[in-house]
Amino acid sequence: MTTDRAEDLSRELRERLVPLFGADIAIERLALLAGGASKEAWALDLRTPQGTEQLLVRRAEGGVIHQQTLSLEHEYRVLQVAYAAGVRAPRPYGYLGEIAGRPAFVSERVPGETIGRRIVQRPELAAARAALPAQMAEELAKIHAIPADRLPFLEAGGPRDVLVRLEDELDAIDEPHPAIELGLAWAKRRTPERSDVVLLHGDLRVGNLAVTEAGLGHVLDWEFAHLGDPTEDVAWPLVRAWRFGVDQLRLGGLGDVEPYLERYNALSGRHISLASINYWEIVGNLKWAIGALTQARRHLSGQQRSVELAVIGRLAAEMEFELLHLLERAG
Amino acid sequence: MQDRPRADELAEAVREFFESEILPTIDDPRIRFRALVAANGLGILEREIAFGTPLVRREVGALMRLLGHADAVPEDFDELRRRATDLNRELVLLIRAGDMPDGTLAHLLATVADKLRVASPRYLERYR
């Protein structure tokens, strides 16, 4: 079945690649890669007169995790702007429009490990783990310095808007979740009054980074980019779900928070406090708990039948448990 | 009354077949990942069949105490589930109104721990 789809795709894809790479091209390999609950990723080896290009075709799969997910076309534009600003993002080659009925774009295919469990556990990546916290801080500081007016389609939003959207998503689930409600009520009472509004990656964490033995190779998966408080992005990789079992190391199963935060503050000129990190870590857990429940609804509603999406619904309880413990500690 | 294997034992047998005979034959990493997730789903099903009902009964009892209801805990399982949903909805409204009862956090910690006993027992065991 995969082979038939690859053949259908391959014909249309080649036509769309001609304007980018010239007519003298041939698809040597096109294979669907693992991972990605809401997007397809195809490894594409393209023969050109200059040699074989290792490319990645990212294509919509029909569903979204959050209402705020960018279209493929907008995700491509964010990637272009980030790459041009010197962020370590895969080189974008072109937005392709619809390929066999669904939008897609093509970028450089970068080397490195992306599976979170391996990044936090494999012995050969120990040096990478030591380097990653500072490197993550550096990429975040670069992203947050990009002028937001380069991406006029992104809506501005403050900390209060984040909670309003989460409450809307929770209401759409139509099943009572008192643990999540308790977290939302806590966060509403402590919403920061003022905040900077900058371009956020929206999902920068272990699992969305290509990691080599030298550490951070590239920042991937830009579909949740939006404008907001920079601390939202800085605290996101702390969320326990992104520690992949190495739970005692609060920053993504890699290390402690303090050196990472100091590096970010030094580079960005901001003064983000640990208290503010704690607030946004709680909001991050809220976001992923609601995200997990929302993904299961994609399966239950028939929008996208998938055993993976079905089981994710039951894992929301993990985020609820963490959330309650964070609330207990925060008082 | 059905003969043995019970429903949980049958789910277990299917999961074991899946893990020992099907999984090793799958090369496509995408399908392999989904097969592992599916096996995990069968594990959840086994545990829910084996001890899910008393956990829902315990949750309803705890919610009634928390919310000050004195009526009986339903015997019928569908009725019990409806009651759990209704009581949780009542608690949600109180939390949104800023009027939650004392002991809400402790109640939720115990209830969510019970959900994890079915959905993700290893997460619960290693949680510190």
Q: Does B108 touch chain A (CB under 8 A)?
A: yes
**How many Å apart are CA A241 and CA A194, to the nearest integer?**
28
Average pLDDT, chain B: 95
Coil, strand or helix: which one is A103? strand
Two tokens, residue A41? 């990723």
Task: Give the model's pLDDT for residue A155.
Answer: 85
Helix (H) or strand (E) holding A268: helix A257-268
Residues of B with CB below 8 A from A328's CB? 105, 109
ipTM of the assembly? 0.96
C-alpha distance from B39 to closest chain A C-alpha (Å): 10
**How many Å apart are CA B39 and CA B35, to the nearest integer?**
6
Strand ranges inside chain B, DSSP E: none
Residues of A with CB below 8 A from B92's CB? 176-178, 181
Task: Give the model's pLDDT for residue B26.
Answer: 94
Task: Give the model's pLDDT for residue A1.
Answer: 43
Task: Give the model's pLDDT for residue A303.
Answer: 87
Mean pLDDT across B49-63: 97
Written as one letter, the residue type at A278 is N
Residues of A with CB below 8 A from B127's CB? 247, 321-322, 325
Residue B40 scores a pLDDT above 90: yes
Enumerate residue ranges in chain A where pLDDT < 50.
Answer: 1
C-alpha distance from B2 to closest chain A C-alpha (Å): 28
Spell out the alpha helix ranges (H) of A64-158: 72-84, 116-121, 126-144
Query: Measured between alpha carbons, how far apart are the two ends of chain B, in Å?
Result: 42
- Of all residues in chain A, what percent carry a pLDDT higher than 70? 95
CATH of the domain spanning A2-108: 3.30.200.20
Task: Give the model's pLDDT for residue B45.
Answer: 96
Confirm or reject CATH 3.90.1200.10 for domain A124-330, answering yes or no. Answer: yes
User: pLDDT tens-digit profile of A226-280?
Assistant: 999 999 999 999 999 999 999 999 999 999 999 999 999 999 999 999 999 999 9
Query: Domain residues of chain A, as ranges?
Result: 2-108, 124-330
Most A CBs within 10 A among B30, B46, B81, hence the mutation to make, goes to B30
- Of all residues in chain B, what percent carry a pLDDT higher than 90? 93
The pTM assigned to this predicted structure is 0.94
Using an 8 Å Cβ cutoff, are B99 and A295 in contact? no
Using an 8 Å Cβ cutoff, are A68 and A137 in contact? no
Q: How many CB atoms lie within 10 A of CB A297?
A: 18
Query: Domain residues of chain B, as ranges?
Result: 7-126
Task: Give the model's pLDDT for residue A66.
Answer: 59
In this complex, which of B32, B40, B112 lies closest to A324 when CB atoms are compared? Answer: B112
Coil, strand or helix: which one is A113? strand
**How many Å apart are CA B78 and CA A178, to the nearest integer?**
21
Q: How many CB atoms lie within 10 A of CB A246?
A: 18
Q: Which residues of B90-121 are buried (b: 16+ CB within 10 A; e: fewer)?
A: bbbebbeeeebeeebbebbbebbbbbbbbbbe
Using an 8 Å Cβ cutoff, are B81 and B53 in contact? no
- Least CA distance to A314: which residue of chain B? B119
C-alpha distance from B63 to closest chain A C-alpha (Å): 11
Task: Give the model's pLDDT for residue A193.
Answer: 86
CA atoms in the 13 A half-sphere facing the CB of A126: 2
Task: Give the model's pLDDT for residue A38.
Answer: 72
Contacts of A278 (CB under 8 A, 6+ apart): A235, A326, A330
Percent helix, strand, coil in chain A, to 5, is 50, 20, 30
Using an 8 Å Cβ cutoff, are A315 and A292 in contact? yes
User: pLDDT tens-digit profile of A177-193?
Assistant: 999 999 999 999 999 98
Mean pLDDT across B72-87: 96
